[in-house]
Every structure is written in C-alpha cells, then in structure tokens.
Structure 1
Amino acid sequence: MGRVKELDEIKAMIRERTGKRNTFRHAKREDVESVLANLTSKDPELWAREWSRVARPYEENGAKLEQADRFKEARDSYVQAYAYYATGRYPTPHTPGKMECFRKSLEVYEKAGKYFEPALERVEIAFADKKIPIYVRIPQDGQKYAIVINFGGIDSFKAESYEYDEGLQKAGMASCSMDMPGVGECPIKASPTAESVFTAVIDYLEKRPDVDAKRIAIMGRSFGGYWAAKMAYVEAQRLRASIVWGGGVHYFFQEDWLRESTNADSYLMDHDIARCRLFGVNSIDELMKPWSALSLKEQGWLEKPSCPMLIVNGKNDLQTPIADLYILLEYGSPKSARVFPGGHMGQTPQTFPTIVDWLKTELS
C-alpha cells in the first residue's frame, strides 16, 4: 500500500493544485494560504472548520449581491463559496464537520445554479422507496437536445461536474450531472447491480420533452469511468456514446492493484477512507471482496456489444492501471481510445477538448 502523506506534503500538493485541479481549481491563493497557516494537524474536523471559515464570507457576499439584483456577481460569489465548502468535505464526508461542509456545498451551489445559463434544475427521481437527485441543465427554447450524463469518482460529486457541464453547454449539448453509487447523495452503495441508478436516470431523461431520446451519452471520470464502461454494455441500445475517462474495468479490481494503488503518490489524502466508503466498509481488508466483484471481465460483459466508446487515460496513471484501457480494446465491439501523457486521467489542456469533439461527432 502507498505511504500516507505527512501534513507538510499535503500542504505542498494543495499549493501546487491551487487554481488547477479538483476543488482547488477555483481557489484563491490568499485564501488557501490562510487555511494552510491554521492547519496544525490532519484532524478532519479542523480541515472542515478552516475551509468553512474562508467559504462563509463569499456565501454572505453572494446573498447581498443577490438582494441587490446583481445576479452574475452573486453567482460567482456563491461558486467561490461552494468551492471552499466542497474542499471542506474533500475527499469524502466521513466526520460531522465534513458532512456539514457537504451539505453547505450543495446549498450554495444550487443558489449559484439559478443564475447559470441555462439554469440548474435539481430533479429527484423516484427509485424504489428512495430518490436519485440529479442536476439538469437544458436550454428552454422549445428544442430537443442531446444530453450527456456526467459524473466523477470517489471524491468528485455531482456539483464538481460544473466545469465539464460548462464545456458541454458551450459545445451545444445539454448536461445531467449525478453522483455515482457510494458517493454524495446517491441512494445506494457500489455493488455489481448498482448500475440500476443510471438506468433510472436514462428512463427519466428519455421522457423529457426537451431531450432527444436518441442522443443520450454518458461520461464517467476516474472511478466513474467504470460505470460509464459498464453502462455502455448494459444500455448499448439506448446510449449513443460513452466516455470512459480514467476508469478501471478489470485489473483495477485485483487485490494486488487495490493494495498497491491505495494512497498513491498522486492522491492527496484519505484515499483508503474514500474507497472504503463507496461500499460501506471500514478497512481495505474488508473492501477486497466487494471490490473484486466489480470486474467487468469476471461479470462477463467485455465480450458483449456496446455503444460507441471512447477510452481516455494518462500513460503513467498510478491510480488506475493503463492495462484496463487496453483490455477494453481487446474484447467486444471496436472502440476508440486516446492515451495522453502524464498521470491519472491524462489531464492535459487537450484532453477535455478531445473528448468534447468526439462527443459532438457521435451525437450529431
């Protein structure tokens, strides 16, 4: 298993990611330094309090701007508050303070969403005796739109799809962001049958008058790429395209990779906790059995036909083995793939534009 990082190493990684990656993409250098100066330990409650402290003034300013009918400025202030509350729950809300940060992140994100273009619509889809909350953004101009179901992995919940939703909107596609099984507000944990939440979302979208039911795609990032791959098989007839971005499908779910990659050098902190919470277990030893049950090869999916699939990752990924990209190419329907330089997800300036261009072609 990888080495758990010391506090100084975590601080150095946060400084490097500020303005670039994860929830730190929206962070301001002065706010980050204010938080880091007060982080005297890795206590998750201290972490939550400090990020909440810098979030609160932006939330309060957003409310003042909203009352003054300065809606675009209010939106920006709420998005800033959201980024800090989301960081406060990062990577997973496993303590009371982090859970409160998670609740606040959704509250201020939905306030900001009223002023997105098109506006954010929160929908709760019936799912047995539970609900699947999703965020939908579709222009209300009487047309039917192609739509992309968009979600992240173990630490990137539906509101963190914001940057990707914006990119899809600019390319003329509508967006639907959701939480994958085991994270955020998803009503079920990860399991070999948890794809049912995605099927329920597709069922809902097909019935909307503003969605072109023949042009529904799915995009999963990091662990979410696993579910995008599985849905490409499960819903081969109803999905027009699938993006598997940094997701594992077989080798990722082997015991040696689980132990080797947990707390990878590229992961900030609490990797083991975030992975365990997907399945509702408390240790890596407990995790092994439900983890290995997700292999798409062992489930018998790889030989089956799929919808068009684009598989993307970084050549030197330490969290997801690049071999899982190649095994998808070796079985079943022909697929597209692109390997980028770098680590997890191959995050270069060209990566997301490449994905958007491919989606535009497939959904045209």
Structure 2
Amino acid sequence: MAATSRFWAQESFEKVAPHHASIQALWEGKWRAPCAMGIYPFPDGDVRDFDKVFDTLIEMNMTEPYDPDTYASAFFPVAEELEATASKAEANQDTALASALYLRAAALYRIARFPVIRSPKTLEAWERGKETYVKGGKYLTPPNLEFIIPHSYASASDGDGDTIRAYVRIPGHASKSSPVPVVLFVCGLDAYRTDFTSRIDEHIRRGFAVVSVEIPGTGDSPASRQDPVSPDRQWSSVLDWVEAQEMFDPTKICARSMSTGGYYGMRMAHTHADRLVAVVSQGGGCHRMFDKEWIKAQDKMEYPYALAEALAHKFGYDSVEAYSEDAQARFSLLESGIFDKPCSRLFLINGTKDEIFPIEDSIIPFQHGRVKDVRFIEGAYHIGNPGAESYVYDWLDQFK
C-alpha cells in the first residue's frame, strides 16, 4: 500500500466498475461466467434458467437503482416452472431429479431477493426460496433438516424475536456414542441458510455437522438489527442448543463466517471465546467498513448492486446518510473494545483487492489481543476467491 493511500483499494474509488452501467452489463460482464460455473452467488443454479430471466430484464433496459419488486418479479415464472416439473418428478419417485430442480428454483428465488429483503416481492421470493430449498434439501445426503431454536436470551425490549430458525445437516455416522464436531455457518448480507449447499457438502465430507443461521437484519434472524450486542444473545441461544444435541461434540464447536457474516465471526470469537474452539472470518469487516469515505465509494466498486443502501438497511438505518454518520461509532469492533477481550483461535482470510470490505479490517484484529492466524490472497477480491476455500477447509480440519 502506498504511504499516502488510506485504503489498499483507494485506486478504485474514482472508477465505476463496468457492471454498474446496466442490467445487461451486470449479467454479461460479471455474473454469467460464475453462474455457468455454479459459484457464488449461484450455487445450485443452472445458467440456462438465468439466461431466460436476464433476457427479460435486459429487454426492460433496467439500470441502477433497480426497483426491487420489478426486478424480483422477472424470476418467478422460470422458478415456478421448475417447481412444477420437480413436483412431477417427485410424484414419479425420481427424487434425484426432483431435488436438483427444486434447488435450481431456490437459486432463482435467491437472486430475486438479492441483495436484501426490502419489498413485498423480495420477501415473497425469500419465503418461496425456503419452501423449494426444503423440498429439494430433504433428498441431499445427508438431508437438510430445519430446526426452530428457542431464543432463550432474547430481549423483547431491545427488539429481539423469540425463535431462531436453523438448517442442520448431520453426517450419517454421528451418534450419541460417537459425536461429531460442528461448524456453525454464519451467513452474510445476501447469502442465507439456503445458499451454501456445496460448501456444506465439503464440511460434511470432512466429518463435521453444519448448523446454518442468518445474521441480524437478514433472513429469519430474530436479533435486533440496531442493537450492537443483539448477536451476542443470538449466538448464546444457538450454542446452548448445539451443546444440548447428543450427536454433537460440545468441545469441538467451530464457526465459519463469510463477508458481512465475517464481522459477526470476529465478534463472536471474542464474545464466546470459551465456547468456540475456532472461528473463520472470511472477507469480514470490523471498523474501516464503516468509514464515511469507504461507504461513499463502495456503490461503484466490486459489489453487483448499491451496497451502501443494502448495508444501511441491514444495520437498521433509514438512509445511507444516517448509516454513514452513525454506524462506526455504534458498530465498530475496534472502538467497542471487543478486540481486547480473550479470543478463540481466529483465522482471518481475504483477498488483498477486496472492494466490499477493506482488507484493513482483516489486519486490525491481529494488531490486538492474542495471536491470530492470517492468510491474504494477493490480487484476489472479496473473500479471497479463487484460492481461499482450500485454506479454510484445511484450517478447520485441525479442530475435528
């Protein structure tokens, strides 16, 4: 980083990434290639389905900011057609085909409500996406199970709900006499518990059970989005439940957090250090993500949509201006003193060119408290891919 530069990504501040020009530029220039490969944000999806949807959106000549209901509505006809075909396959007992089709439909509903649930149609997409994912997920190996966890530590006066919805997958060899280690999968701003099939498959293959839960302000999280300590209450309730399950080893509970979830991963590694043996924060933010200069620039950079608006909504602000003025003082993990608390083993991993959360936020934690494990992928963007995944799996394998 140049001595005069405030951020490693400073050179991108005065540019506008090409995919912000139009919906056609987004699809053809940024999203179609990862969709064809089935990688974020398109796990379980099929590029042929998305080609149909984006042909419609391109004909509408949409440009940012995209109206969320108009945008979301384009995905429903293709998703509903897949659901109908899946239902027929299920009736014919072709469960493998039914599962694949239901999961393809869920992938469409995911992008329909992307990046956050903020309108009637995006909320409907979230509800429909869950329904189709549950239908397809029951045929996965091992199956995807849904549990409703009591939020024992909820504070109604602070705006918490009373239940936590989680998806759980448990290796077939797990038993009371042979409990398995657990990965608590901490979801992100736009990727929820319906969205990590392939990553969870890999953790399962390596012997972990996986419990997936959304973060405050997203999905079905009951935690108050405006209360900085609401996540602490949520994770306490989740960990109580995990520790009570006879097939889980309570001494081997890890957490994997990604992107905005990485903010919560850094926090929980300190607030729940005595209950977590290890935490991964992949592409997380902690302090500089709330910097006014960063917030002003981030809508033009790597993220597909207006990121500042989505984050403001997630953290409970009515406007980007209010978010920019208040969020650092309210939510910074550095200013709150979180990093001076005891810490579980913490692995910080990201790409050096991250334009969603500044790489500086993966540096700050290892300047405080106990020693951290760090891996930065030179030249990579947000969360360090391509290249970061194998490091995450191998690091967590130490704690099985």
Counterpart selection for 2:67 from 43, 59, 63: 43
User: Displacement of 1:27 after TM fit?
Assistant: 3.4
CA distance in 2, matches of 1:290, 1:173: 39
Give the secondary structure class of the aligned counterpart of 1:309: strand
1:45-82 per-position Cα deviation (integer Å, ceiling 9, x unaligned): 23212211111122112211212222222111111111
- Number of residues of Structure 1 aligned to a counterpart in Structure 2: 361
The equivalent of 1:228 in structure 2 is: 265
- Provide runs of 4+ in structure 1 moved above 3 Å: 1-5
Q: Specify the SS of the correspondent of 2:167.
A: strand
The alignment status of 1:58 with 2:94, answered yes or no, reads no
Please give the per-residue CA displacement for 1:217-237, whole angstroms capped at 9, x wherever unaligned: 111100100101111111111
Q: Which residue of the partner structure matches residue 286 of structure 1?
A: 322
In structure 1, how many angstroms separate the alpha carbons of the residues matched to 2:134 and 2:45? 19
Q: Compare 331-340 and 278-287 and name the one that shifted more.
A: 278-287
Please state whether the residue corresponding to 1:103 is helix, strand or coil: helix
| C-alpha distance after superposition, 1:139-166 (max 9, x if no partner) | 3542311000112321111111222211
The answer as to 2:83 corresponding to 1:28 is no
Tell me the SS of whatever aligns to 1:184. Answer: coil
Q: Which residue of 1 aligns with 2:130?
A: 106
Match of 2:148, SS state, is strand
Q: Given the alignment of the two structures, is residue 154 of structure 1 paired with residue 170 of structure 2, yes or no?
A: no
Q: 1:318 aligns with which of 341, 355, 359?
A: 355
Segments of 5+ residues of structure 1 without an aligned counterpart are none
- Equivalent of 1:244 in 272, 281, 285: 281
Structure 2 match to 1:132: 164
Question: d(CA) in 2 for partners of 1:290 and 1:220?
Answer: 24
Q: Which moved more, 1:126-135 or 1:313-322?
A: 126-135
How far residue 174 of structure 1 moved from its aligned partner, in angstroms, is 0.8
Deviations along 1:300-342, whole A, 9 cap, x unmatched? 1212221101100001011111112221111111111111131
Give the conservation status (yes or no) of the 8 Å contact 2:114–2:190.
yes
Alignment of 1:6 with 2:22, yes or no, is: yes
User: Who is 2:158 aligned against?
Assistant: none
Q: Which runs of 5+ in 2 are unaligned?
A: 1-12, 155-160
**In structure 2, do the counterparts of structure 1 residues 297 and 27 end up closer, same or farther at CA, with 3 Å as the change threshold?**
same
State the 1:215 CA deviation.
Answer: 0.4
1:20-51 alpha-carbon deviations (Å, 9 max, x no partner): 44333443333222212211123322321221
Q: 1:85 aligns with which of 102, 109, 115?
A: 109
* Deviation, structure 1 residue 205: 0.2
Give the Cα separation in 1 of the matches to 2:129 and 2:197. 13
Q: Does 1:328 align with 2:365?
A: yes
Within-5 A mapping of 1:71-220: 71-127=95-151, 128=154, 130-141=162-173, 142=175, 143-190=178-225, 191-195=227-231, 196-220=233-257
Task: Report the Cα distance in structure 2 between the residues aligned to 1:25 and 1:123, rounded to whole angstroms.
Answer: 22
2: CA distance between counterparts of 1:175 and 1:289?
A: 37
Are residue 351 (structure 1) and residue 383 (structure 2) matched?
no
Matching residue within 291, 296, 302 for 1:254: 291
Alpha-carbon deviations, 1:264-294, whole Å to 9, x = none?
4211113233212212322111213552111
Task: Return the TM-score normalized by structure 2.
Answer: 0.86
Partner SS state of residue 64, structure 1? helix
Q: Secondary structure at the match of 1:312?
A: strand
Residue 69 of structure 1 is matched in structure 2 by: 93
Q: TM-score, normalised by structure 1?
A: 0.94
Output one character per residue of 1:4-23: Cα deviation in whole Å (capped at 9) or x when no partner.
54333223323233234433
Distance 2:306 2:122 in 1: 13
Read off the aligned partner of 1:297 and give its amino acid letter: L
Cα distance in 1 between the residues matched to 2:24 and 2:337: 45
For 1:132, what is the secondary structure of its paired residue?
strand
| Equivalent in the alignment of 1:16 | 33
1:306 aligned residue = 343
Distance in 1, matches of 2:367 and 2:98, equals 50
